[in-house]
Amino acid sequence: MYNFEFVKPKTLEEAVAALSAEEAQVLGGGQTLIPTLKQRLAAPAKLVSLSGIEALQGVRADGGVLTVGAGTTHATVAAEAGAYPALAALAGNIADPAVRNRGTLGGSIANNDPAADYPAAVLASGATVVTIAREIAADDFFQGMFTTALNDGEIITAVKFPIPEAASYQKFEQPASRFALVGVFVAKYADGVRVAVTGASEDGVFRWSEAEAALAANFAPEALEGLAVPAEGMIADLHGSKAYRAHLVGVMTKRAVAAAG
């Protein structure tokens, strides 16, 4: 790892000022960034840790919306997001317990790893990503593998999740990394069903609109019979082929619908 200057501001204003420096980079929980730095795949001149900023912490349910501070760890979401059980369950099954004590919601979605769990929850919930500058709809936020709508230096402060009537996240784990080989988050709202798929596509997390339409008419696993995502555009690696991942999308969506009830 190349050396860098480390700063840990107490307020968002101080963090924004620190990030205006050349080659400055935000540090969330560091569970992806620190391994990346070790590999010398990134070499920022300055790391601005957000872990000292109280305003980024906490989970709050109010009026059918669960608001999670961007600096909240996965372990805290697992313990405190009882108002949105499928989200709490997802957070409690990210990586392993020690990683969940450091990794944060904001860090996960800002990184937008194509196999990360949280992007599926954010997209399937039609959540709103709140930053220091604006509010971004989930449909606009994720823009392909490791790419988001965030501008340089734009810090995520919170994510607002509308709480669904029923939901479930089902992950087919890659057993060594515990990332999703395929993960599907299904959320049923009064005005429709949203299905978001992670781990599968070369474009990162995506919505499966055919499944959404079928489930809006009949929220049952049988409604998905005969539907399939095309293998074209799926990720192929040593863990699974394009066709295998496309098949898993259907299987995991059915499981999620069955689990959501």
Partner 1 sequence: MTQVTMTVNGKAVSGEVEGRTLLSTFLREHLGLTGTHVGCDTAQCGACTVHVDGKAVKSCNMLALEADGASVDTIEGQANPDGSLNAIQAAFQEHHGLQCGFCTPGMVMAAAALLKENPKPTEAEIRHHLSGNLCRCTGYHNIVKAIMAASGQDVAAVAAE
Residue selected from 20, 147, 177, 218 as contacting partner 1 according to rule CB under 8 A: 177
Contacts 24+ apart (CB under 8 A), 75-78: 75/100, 75/101, 77/105
Stretch that binds partner 1, among 4-12, 132-140, 180-188, 195-203 (CB under 8 A): 4-12
CB of 97 to partner 1, least distance (A): 6
Report the candidate in 30, 165, 179 with the shortest Cα–Cα distance to residue 93: 179
Binders in 79-118 for partner 1, by CB under 8 A: 95-99, 101-102
CB-wise, 66 or 75, nearer to partner 1?
A: 75
Which residues share a beta bridge with 6? 47
Kindly calculate the radius of gyration of the chain based on its CA atoms and give it in whole angstroms.
18
Is residue 239 part of the contact set for partner 1 (CB under 8 A)? no
**Per-residue CA distances from 121 to 78, 88, 171, 183, 214 (Å):** 13, 10, 12, 10, 20
Q: How many CB atoms lie within 10 A of CB 37?
A: 19
Residue found under tokens 């992670």: 198
Stretch that binds partner 1, among 29-37, 207-215, 222-230, 238-246 (CB under 8 A): 29-37
Stretch that binds partner 1, among 28-36, 110-118, 183-191, 244-252 (CB under 8 A): 28-36
Stretch that binds partner 1, among 112-120, 173-181, 226-234, 249-257 (CB under 8 A): 173-181
Residue selected from 35, 64, 82, 192 as contacting partner 1 according to rule CB under 8 A: 35
Residue 84 near residue 66 (C-beta atoms within 8 A): yes
Residue selected from 38, 140, 165, 222 as contacting partner 1 according to rule CB under 8 A: 38
Number of residues that bind partner 1 (CB under 8 A): 28
For 59, the enclosing helix (H) or strand (E) is strand 59-62
Amino acid symbol at 113: D
CB-wise, 8 or 247, nearer to partner 1?
A: 8
